[in-house]
């Protein structure tokens, strides 16, 4: 059976490359190639820049209300095609349908809708300086680049294109080569909604295509989502042309469970923050610090619920709530961390093995895994695993728990479970993380800025401030009085 071959999406349509180079995309749940994609060669890259220049000229000249109206039309189309798009995400990523059907497209559409609404509300300032005055304009940056990870491909493309386009920029987006189709579908939707050709181009390929975007002198900003190590390369490369950067990187986030917490709720948060999307979420609370008074109760309930309530299998089955990891490589990496956890002395509470569900025997599944008796120096406690592997640690002193939670070079997210309102705020204020939850975990509405402290990131996505990251301020001084000149 022949599989489809997708081309790069440039200037409002598909563009054939000249090199003929393609790459294959596999369904992680079946290990089968589902389609091929053409790599963006020099011809495509050049066309992407040239059309983005033209698209930008047209798009940035429109009024914010006009842009907003077109983006809202795209939001409508995204929502109307929810199921078609959600299915693409399931087949590309291996995540469960029951998640994609209500999260991936919706949260992407929400963000475009949010920024479409904000665009016309962005205003400059005016201030008198004696009889003279100045005013400022919020102007778009020009051509921006977005580079995405594979865990939420469509959502990431929406989260980057929403503010970029609302502010009047053009965006060239490179999805991960593991999950390239969602961004293409978004490009088709933008085009159908009336976004001018060239304003949203999709280029395909691996690191080399990403590197080209970070180096290009024609690109003013790069917004990147991916690993810390790749992020550092992107920043270094972007420095060559002094590009603006937004970095959404990895995490190793702590969740602190105090002895007055609602333990069932805390277990729910820990499971969501480790097993949702089979653990492939950047904000996951992979270090769970539990107060010694409730430690046994916590791990007893955690073990029971993990063993009874998780259903792995064909991700398209709506009953399935644990999907396949993105690739065989990543699967092996995660299994390697599990081996390390065992060899370094952690106790395997549950899981710890690869799974071969009857409905998806060739998929890259890993059982939801919980390690107890963990210590702060273990590899599984220090490094981001990006799979369904939770480490549980004990504490008995608040200050010590905060110190241990902060003892990492990462700072993406953190959470606290306690019924003591003063403690909740006191503790969360001391945690070094950009995205925090009290008696909750993982929610990320469009209105809330997200981004990391320390090496987890630079800048923010979502929330009002993100629009500032896609504009530059022009100050205009207006002389109302004669110039006083010594010449």
Just list the catalytic residues.
160, 248, 282, 461
Instruction: Give whole-number Cα distances, 484 to 135, 162, 481, in Å.
Output: 21, 47, 9
Q: Give the interface size with ligand NDP as a residue count (CB under 6 A).
A: 29
Site for ligand NDP in 128-157 (CB under 6 A): 147-151
Among 27, 225, 278, 418, binds ligand NDP (CB under 6 A): 225
Closest residue by beta carbon to ligand NDP: 210
92 contributes a contact to ligand NDP by CB under 6 A: no
249 contributes a contact to ligand NDP by CB under 6 A: yes
**Options 219-227, 267-275, 295-303, 353-361: segment touching ligand NDP (CB under 6 A):** 219-227
388 contributes a contact to ligand NDP by CB under 6 A: no
* Site map (CB under 6 A) of ligand NDP, residues 294-323, x = contact: ------------------------------
230 contributes a contact to ligand NDP by CB under 6 A: yes
Minimum Å gap between C-beta 332 and ligand NDP is: 14
Among 15, 118, 202, 234, binds ligand NDP (CB under 6 A): 234
227 contributes a contact to ligand NDP by CB under 6 A: yes
226 contributes a contact to ligand NDP by CB under 6 A: yes
Our CB check for ligand NDP shows the closer of 201 and 350 to be: 201
24 contributes a contact to ligand NDP by CB under 6 A: no
Minimum Å gap between C-beta 294 and ligand NDP is: 29
Among 38, 101, 110, 248, binds ligand NDP (CB under 6 A): 248
Contact 441, 273 (CB under 8 A): yes
Among 12, 250, 352, 368, binds ligand NDP (CB under 6 A): 250
Our CB check for ligand NDP shows the closer of 311 and 464 to be: 464
* Site map (CB under 6 A) of ligand NDP, residues 167-186, x = contact: -------x-xx---------
**Options 50-58, 227-235, 337-345, 360-368: segment touching ligand NDP (CB under 6 A):** 227-235
Site for ligand NDP in 324-363 (CB under 6 A): none
What are the residues binding ligand NDP (CB under 6 A)?
147-151, 174, 176-177, 206-207, 210-211, 214, 225-227, 230, 233-234, 248-251, 282, 384, 386, 412, 452, 457
């Amino acid at each position: 059976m022949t599989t489809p071959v997708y081309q790069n999406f440039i200037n409002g349509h598909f563009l054939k490359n000249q090199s003929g180079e393609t790459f294959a995309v596999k369904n992680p749940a079946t290990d089968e190639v589902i389609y091929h994609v053409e790599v963006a060669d020099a011809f495509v890259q050049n066309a992407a820049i040239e059309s983005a220049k033209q698209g930008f000229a047209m798009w940035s000249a429109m009024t914010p209300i006009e842009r907003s109206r077109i983006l809202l039309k795209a939001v409508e189309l995204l929502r109307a095609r929810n199921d078609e798009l959600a299915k693409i995400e399931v087949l590309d990523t291996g995540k469960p349908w029951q998640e994609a059907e209500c999260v991936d497209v919706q949260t992407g559409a929400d963000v475009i809708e949010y920024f479409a609404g904000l665009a016309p509300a962005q205003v400059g300032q005016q201030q008198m300086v004696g009889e003279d005055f100045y005013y400022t304009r919020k102007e778009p940056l020009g051509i921006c680049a977005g580079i995405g990870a594979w865990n939420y491909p469509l959502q990431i493309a929406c989260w980057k294109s929403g503010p970029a386009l609302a502010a009047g920029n053009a965006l060239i987006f490179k999805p991960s080569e593991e999950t390239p189709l969602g961004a293409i579908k978004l490009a088709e939707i933008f085009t159908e909604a009336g976004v001018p050709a060239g304003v949203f181009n999709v280029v395909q390929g691996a690191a080399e295509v990403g590197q080209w975007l970070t180096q290009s002198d024609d690109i003013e900003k790069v917004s990147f989502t991916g690993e810390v190590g790749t992020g550092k390369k992107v920043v270094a490369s972007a420095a060559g042309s002094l590009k603006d950067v937004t970095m959404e990187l990895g995490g190793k986030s702590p969740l602190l469970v105090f002895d007055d917490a609602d333990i069932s709720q805390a277990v729910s948060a820990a499971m969501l923050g480790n097993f949702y999307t089979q653990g492939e979420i950047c904000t996951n609370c992979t270090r769970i610090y539990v107060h010694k008074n409730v430690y046994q109760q916590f791990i007893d309930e955690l073990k029971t619920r993990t063993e009874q309530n998780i259903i792995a299998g064909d991700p398209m089955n709506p009953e399935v709530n644990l999907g396949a990891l993105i690739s065989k490589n990543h699967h092996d990496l995660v299994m390697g961390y599990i081996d390390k956890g065992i060899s370094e002395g952690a106790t395997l509470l549950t899981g710890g093995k690869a799974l071969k569900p009857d409905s998806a025997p060739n998929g890259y599944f890993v059982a939801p895994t919980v390690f107890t008796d963990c210590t702060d120096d273990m590899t599984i406690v220090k490094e981001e695993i990006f799979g369904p592997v939770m480490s549980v640690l004990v504490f008995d002193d608040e200050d010590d728990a905060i110190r241990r939670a902060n003892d990492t070079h990462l700072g993406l997210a953190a959470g606290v479970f306690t019924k003591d309102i003063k403690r909740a705020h006191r503790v969360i204020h001391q945690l070094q993380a950009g995205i925090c939850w009290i008696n909750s975990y993982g929610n990320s509405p469009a209105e809330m800025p997200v981004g990391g402290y320390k090496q987890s990131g630079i800048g923010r996505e979502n929330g009002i401030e993100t629009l500032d990251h896609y504009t530059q301020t022009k100050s205009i001084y207006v002389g109302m009085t004669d110039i006083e000149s010594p010449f």
